[in-house]
């Protein structure tokens, strides 16, 4: 199973996500639960997976505070 690495940053109160190996797969959410659901949906859309096929292995990468 592929592990999708997702870079996350905060901007203007939103969490912004970019899937490293899928340049066109980016999304946002107000909190982590919303972001996780949106990330799963955008990966499925880009890969052309059937609707509801969101059982994906995802690792989230957050920036380290300075």
Residue 64 above 90 pLDDT?
A: no
Burial of 39 (0-12, 13-18, 19+ CB in 10 A): buried
Q: For residue 7, what pLDDT band results from cuts at 50, 70 and 90?
A: very high
pLDDT score recorded for residue 48: 93
For the domain bounded by 3-61, which CATH number is listed?
3.30.160.250
> For the segment 44-54, what is each residue's pLDDT rounded down to a tens digit?
999 999 877 67
pTM of the full predicted structure?
Answer: 0.89
How many C-beta atoms lie closer than 10 Å to residue 40's C-beta? Answer: 19
Which has more confidence, 3 or 50? 3
Q: CA 48 to CA 30: how far, in whole Å?
A: 25
């Amino acid at each position: 199973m592929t592990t999708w690495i997702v870079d996350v940053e905060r901007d203007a109160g939103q969490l912004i996500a970019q899937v490293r190996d899928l340049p066109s797969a980016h999304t946002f959410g107000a909190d982590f639960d919303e972001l996780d659901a949106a990330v799963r949906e955008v990966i499925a859309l880009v890969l052309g997976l059937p609707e509801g096929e969101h059982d994906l292995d995802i690792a989230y990468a957050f920036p380290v505070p300075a």
